[in-house]
Structure 1
């Protein structure tokens, strides 16, 4: 079977809805321990006192429950109680407006209703309005501070009250698909959507995340994107159905932008005679490892790459991302039959990711294809998202068939992409592989 024929058959399956459902479940890492905040300076205490009236906790409630389902932080950016927060703080209410309600709570305990005005899923931002709350707005500074500049972050971590952390702004993150500012202070759960300040008390960014398993590595969305969204939000208040549709359109646009970034010929690296896709763009991170023990029955070299471009849709669901890995195996201790069984163990695509709440079953095609200098077994599976029209997950497994005592298995997983564009990427990915002894 030709590679073109296989991908065309899968495209037809996706078109007619046979690859039903899908959404990516949040991938497998348990969160690391919360990072304790360091003692703050007099400047931090003064800043917290000055901006405290403009910062609130945003809480989400399921149905009529009085116990919260989730919470984050927001801050005033325009008169009339207009606030900025993270999209992921309000995403459940945008997705299920009849199931969730949003409220704010000030540091003094005053509460009220929150209404979502506009969203920017790609930059993880939302503009909301707080009823009965109208403090002096904070100033958004669109310029990113120089590396080494003093910075501060404010929010409501873990329901322990309004907190400030102090750190350093290290400028824009290099080789990132979406713009982020690296902040060396702590951003813990619940601080999402809170403001980050320069030494003059201007908002330079919005708290968005901390890096799992690493201390004091956190990120901010640059304030320029908050300004752009604010201008759009002040034009009017959309219906809940419009916001939900807008989220889907933005996810589709992000997926298109992601795959469009992979231009030109795919870069490869040689491992044991095989040329395999490697760092395809500057924002793709790759690492390689191997087993140094010479007595192992099978020697394995592993290359793993990830775009780290995924967007939060709702709890347990991320889209618009891709990752791939190569497992290159060789042996001088096993016979060809045992080695083949070992290599074929990498061929399964079962249970890779996803939840039936968000996705349907994969529809798969399998065959043997001729690549550059060798034959390979190719498995390609596609499934559509249940609620997000036009987006699909694609998973690929390639197993070399040209050598009895060495070979490779390659895994490609794509989350929340347009099926046609995704299958075109699969074809380029597979056709870049070559046997070059």
Structure 2
């Protein structure tokens, strides 16, 4: 009992110390925080909002997703910075759509500014996230720094802390009040993510001499998406895929460290007439372009099916239904993308006859970028079949064709 009491006392002291630091950080820096609002011009009502922070007398950092509506339709929205009861217009200087950052020009601020930390914290150190949760006013939330998120292509820092909607774009700081990252996302249950300091420094280095027209950001975003898909796919295309068996199919076991894979089967469930085993691999993040339009994704799905216990006609019906369940996970609208253009053919893949469906749709505002959906199903033999799928978003034609060749040559039925 004595030991338990000592441990409890130590924990209580640590919590009190962290609370004292949080209060000190907030009292020093709250005037360098502001609410970033996107306001619909006709109704003068908020369309979206988040947080921002001053890093220089006229420079504010926030998330791209906070201001996206304004970037896409500036005639319909205006960008406002709110500090207490004071509201002032903001202008966009630069964006980094891949890392969900934006740099804004704001009215001059003469008070204390946020400095950038020289280094990231050590794992286990305290960090403090500042922002405006649910529009309730600026707060500071203590948390624990857990390092770079593993299995992630888009760099994110993992923090144990309670981020909420509206805190997006606010700073996360160390005990000295120095910025170590930008609040960007939460998974709930005390799981939160920040954009790393290095990506913020890159954005600040892109500050232009004057405010560019909002229309210029379409091409800036296009170039960023093109560069991103090249960085994502190049190592995948150049590597030798490690393969494993799924039924009589050969599927990737290891392609890239940033892909997360799962598997399941219904073989232990007698109610299923068609036995199957499935595997899938995908990126866990995406690039936010708008609330209805995501990009920068890669996913692959594989399924082996066995219907030996079924009549042939019934097996073929079940198998055809499996093949039909192929779609893009990108919830884009007709405003953003064209209709999918699909072609289907029987192809000899090593050397089994296989039905291949290949669908492409183009991005309307970002020329030269496409979403691609591919599905291949062996022509069933011995009432068994093998289905493979992939979906890419935000890729060039050359990258899509190169990935398709690699996939078709590697993922085979034996």
Q: Fold-level match, TM-score > 0.5?
A: yes
Counterpart Cα distance in 2 of 1:122 and 1:352:
20
For residues 22-43 of structure 1, the C-alpha deviation after alignment (integer angstroms, 9 at most, x for no partner) is: xxxxxxxxxxxxxxxx997222
Alignment match, 1:287:
262
Alignment match, 1:30:
none
Of 263-272 and 378-387, deviating more is 263-272
Partner-residue secondary structure (3-state), 2:66: helix
Give me the CA root mean square deviation.
1.9
Deviation at 1:404, TM superposition (A): 3.1
Q: Give structure 2 stretches of 5+ with no counterpart.
A: 1-14
Relative distance call for 1:276 and 1:373 in structure 2 (3 A) is farther
For residues 127-160 of structure 1, the C-alpha deviation after alignment (integer angstroms, 9 at most, x for no partner) is: 1011254432101114221111111111111111
Counterpart Cα distance in 1 of 2:66 and 2:20:
30
Contact 1:275 1:433 in 2 (8 A): yes
Alignment match, 2:207:
233
Deviation at 1:87, TM superposition (A): 1.2
Deviation at 1:350, TM superposition (A): 6.7
2:246 to 261, 271, 277: 271
Deviation at 1:402, TM superposition (A): 4.5
Contact 1:152 1:164 in 2 (8 A): yes
Alignment match, 2:59:
82
Counterpart Cα distance in 2 of 1:386 and 1:349:
26
Contact 1:76 1:135 in 2 (8 A): no
Partner-residue secondary structure (3-state), 2:151: coil
The question of 1:130 aligning with 2:106 is answered yes
State how 1:27-42 maps to structure 2 within 5 Å: 41-42=19-20
Relative distance call for 1:142 and 1:209 in structure 2 (3 A) is farther
For residues 170-220 of structure 1, the C-alpha deviation after alignment (integer angstroms, 9 at most, x for no partner) is: 111123212211111122111110000112221100001112xx4111111
Partner-residue secondary structure (3-state), 2:206: helix
1:192 to 168, 188, 201: 168
TM-score by length of 2: 0.90
For residues 228-247 of structure 1, the C-alpha deviation after alignment (integer angstroms, 9 at most, x for no partner) is: 21122154322222223211
For residues 229-286 of structure 1, the C-alpha deviation after alignment (integer angstroms, 9 at most, x for no partner) is: 1122154322222223211211121122211131222332211121023432110110
Counterpart Cα distance in 2 of 1:77 and 1:234:
15
Partner-residue secondary structure (3-state), 2:26: helix
Relative distance call for 1:412 and 1:142 in structure 2 (3 A) is farther
Contact 1:172 1:181 in 2 (8 A): yes
Relative distance call for 1:132 and 1:355 in structure 2 (3 A) is same
Partner-residue secondary structure (3-state), 1:247: helix
Partner-residue secondary structure (3-state), 1:250: helix
Alignment match, 1:63:
41
Alignment match, 2:3:
none
Q: How many residues align?
A: 395
Alignment match, 1:210:
186
State how 1:105-120 maps to structure 2 within 5 Å: 105-106=82-83, 108-120=84-96
Counterpart Cα distance in 1 of 2:325 and 2:339:
12
For residues 387-435 of structure 1, the C-alpha deviation after alignment (integer angstroms, 9 at most, x for no partner) is: 1111101111111124232212222111111122112201211211223
Alignment match, 1:49:
27
Alignment match, 1:95:
72
Q: Give structure 1 stretches of 5+ with no counterpart.
A: 1-37
Counterpart Cα distance in 2 of 1:321 and 1:381:
16
Deviation at 1:319, TM superposition (A): 1.1
Contact 2:386 2:413 in 1 (8 A): no
The question of 1:375 aligning with 2:353 is answered yes
Relative distance call for 1:426 and 1:175 in structure 2 (3 A) is same
Alignment match, 1:384:
362
Partner-residue secondary structure (3-state), 1:233: coil
Counterpart Cα distance in 2 of 1:216 and 1:179:
19
Counterpart Cα distance in 2 of 1:122 and 1:374:
40
Contact 1:144 1:172 in 2 (8 A): no
Contact 1:142 1:223 in 2 (8 A): no
Higher RCO by CA contacts (8 Å cutoff, separation 6 or greater)? 1
Contact 1:344 1:399 in 2 (8 A): no
Contact 1:103 1:113 in 2 (8 A): yes
The question of 1:253 aligning with 2:227 is answered yes
1:314 to 260, 283, 290: 290
Alignment match, 1:10:
none
The question of 1:305 aligning with 2:281 is answered yes
Contact 1:298 1:331 in 2 (8 A): yes
Deviation at 1:45, TM superposition (A): 1.7
Of 388-397 and 303-312, deviating more is 303-312
